[in-house]
Amino acid sequence: MLPIVIIVALLCLFLTPIEPSLLVAFLIGTLMIIVGMGLFTQGAETSMTVIGNRIGASLTKSKKLWLILIVSFILGLAVTISEPDLQVLAQTVPHIDNMVLIVTVGIGVGFFLTICMLRIFLGIKLRWLLLGFYILTFVLAALADPNYLCIAFDAGGVTTGPMTVPFILALGVGVANMRSDRDAGSDSFGLVALCSIGPILFVLILGFLYPNADGVTSITTVDWSSTTEIGMAYIEAIPHYLLETAMALLPVVAIFLIFQFFVLKMQARPFFKICWGILFTYVGLVLFLTGVNVGFSSLGAVLGKALYDGWTKYLLIPLAMCLGWFIISAEPAVYVLQKQIESVSSGAIPGKAIKYSLSIAIAIAMGIAMLRVITGISIMWFVVPGYAIALILMFFVPDIYTAIAFDSGGVASGPMTATFMLQFLIGVCSAAGGNILTDAFGIVATVAMMPLISIQIVGFIYGRKKTDAPVEDIAPDDEIIELWG
């Protein structure tokens, strides 16, 4: 978070005049986000990951496919509802009721999680599922209401965040580990990729059914006259997010307790360890949402609007690319994915290579998103060729890299993108007089798309190097290989 805070502080101090109260509230919100995401990540690792693994393994042992599919749908819906990125996006969208959007996205994730389980059991190639569902997605997108188009693609990105990713990945590994074939490990990837499609499709369908509004929204600025008003604003917001977060986590906790008492029956020590993890997750999520909504997002919108006035507008695209490079380091779900990749590949795929590829991709994506806001170019001019390139690359890279690439697209668009950068673009779009729903929204979709290309290019290069390696460099004939010890 430090590079982003430094960049924002320098902009406020030397380039754009901002109310001091906004900057103070931003710094307080940043501190709450850092502490909140630290607790949240620790809690998710010790609770959601373990729950996903254990439930996945227990479901497979039952050997009842219908039970696995039903429970997967319920779990996908429950975990998605508690996703912080989705809650932030739902509060930002002006023309769709918060709960309607959240439930629609949750149903989409649950439905596609059942498809993921079927894929693991049947061993279906990921590339064919991705190809078919993305063709269906773009057919619907061509017919959809423009005010729902960017929201739908953004929903696919924010769904796979710090709550959903560890749970879905762990659930997939738990189910895949029950298979004995050599492709079981690689088939545990791709769950995030497929679950990212569900929200896009279901929100596009929602656009045909839900009553449409004008889709006009504007930024609201908050000005505190004293430091005590800032403090009271945070204190007054905490009870609201305590209740909201409790309601969001309740389905996940209920499912875990049902499995514990009837199926898992863990001993006291691991059970209470998971309970502590859930508590950490709860506290961290409350701090995160409070920090984001009270002080963090407000400055993003005001700063974007201020930078568009005058010569500083020419700095917007390089500034967005710079922020994009650093934002990937602040996304906790990226670290979850890196560990999963290194574990499944036994270190053959280094996490640093994935991280640098993502940094480059997100920097380009942020530049494209800012270009769209300034010029008003439709998002379809970028996502159609972008996804076409990504889908074509699937047939030239190893399957494991395709799965990793599409998983990376989901995890790269996390809390930082859905909070600060989206508000930053809304501020620029408001100053430019554009349509916020068609121009500013779509940044998460762009961020989710670019890693699909960059990671697969890495996979193509890696595959070529592996193919071109001489046999004698890999296993010399006179080498003694110890088979034990």
Other CB atoms closer than 10 Å to residue 211's CB: what's the count? Answer: 6
> Residue 375 is which amino acid?
T
**Residue spans per domain, the chain:** 2-211+237-466
- Answering whether pTM is above 0.75, one says yes
Look at residue 462 in the predicted model and tell me its pLDDT. Answer: 65
Residue 156, burial from CB neighbour count under 10 angstroms (0-12, 13-18, 19+): buried
N-to-C CA span, the chain: 44
Range name among 131-140, 161-170, 374-383 with the lowest pLDDT average: 161-170
Closest CA to 445 of 76, 116, 155: 155
Look at residue 388 in the predicted model and tell me its pLDDT. Answer: 92
Q: Is the model more confident about 52 or about 410?
A: 52
The 10s digit of each residue's pLDDT in 178-227 is 665 566 556 666 787 888 899 999 999 998 887 665 544 455 556 677 88
Look at residue 479 in the predicted model and tell me its pLDDT. Answer: 46
- Under a CB-based contact definition with an 8 Å cutoff, are residues 52 and 264 in contact? no
Q: What is the helix (H) or strand (E) element at residue 397, kind and residue range? A: none
Cα angle value 440/443/449 (rounded, 5°): 150
> What's the whole-number average pLDDT of the chain?
81
Range name among 20-34, 42-56, 117-131, 343-357 with the lowest pLDDT average: 343-357
Helix (DSSP H) and strand (DSSP E) numbers for the chain:
23, 0
Mean pLDDT of 3-7: 84
State yes or no: pLDDT of 282 exceeds 90. yes
Look at residue 185 in the predicted model and tell me its pLDDT. Answer: 57
- Under a CB-based contact definition with an 8 Å cutoff, are residues 337 and 164 in contact? no
- Residue count of the chain, please give it: 485
| Confidence at 412, pLDDT banded by 50, 70, 90 | low
Share of the chain above pLDDT 70, in %: 82
The 10s digit of each residue's pLDDT in 371-404 is 999 999 999 999 999 999 999 998 888 777 787 7
> Residue 457 is which amino acid?
I
Closest CA to 33 of 200, 234, 187: 234
Look at residue 470 in the predicted model and tell me its pLDDT. Answer: 46
Q: Return the residue matching tokens 């996703």.
A: 83
Closest CA to 428 of 291, 320, 347, 322: 320
State yes or no: pLDDT of 485 exceeds 50. no
